[in-house]
Amino acid sequence: MNEYIVSFHRSAQKELEALPQEVISRVLPKIEELAVEPRPDGCKKLKGQEKSWRVRVGDYRVIYSVDDDSRNVEIINIRHRSQAYR
């Protein structure tokens, strides 16, 4: 099975770097899993977004898009749940 390529939107990279270290250590493995399974158990499709999904990591949300044709997962946002959908 071919893995997907995971890339970060520039703003998502900055959001990741700004997170506390303990959150980063929980979020990064979840993001790495998206390369193998871009729609894991518990992920949800975002309404009004054709290719956007979200996955929960504790109180944080990783919002990403999946392009099956190019086998690419792009991380769009990594935010606390209170800020995730703004």
CB 54 within 8 A of CB 62: yes
The token pair at 8 is: 């970060």
Mean pLDDT of 21-39: 96
In the β-sheet with 60-67, what is the strand arrangement from edge to edge? 5-8, 72-80, 60-67, 52-57, 44-45
Going along the chain from its start, the domains and CATH numbers come out as: 5-80 (3.30.2310.20)
| pLDDT at residue number 1 | 60
| pLDDT at residue number 34 | 97
pLDDT one-digit tens code per residue, 61-80: 999 999 999 999 999 999 99
What is the torsional sign of CA 57, 85, 70, 39?
A: positive
For residue 56, is pLDDT > 80? yes
Side-chain-side CA neighbours of 6 within 13 Å: the count stands at: 19
Mean pLDDT of 32-51: 94
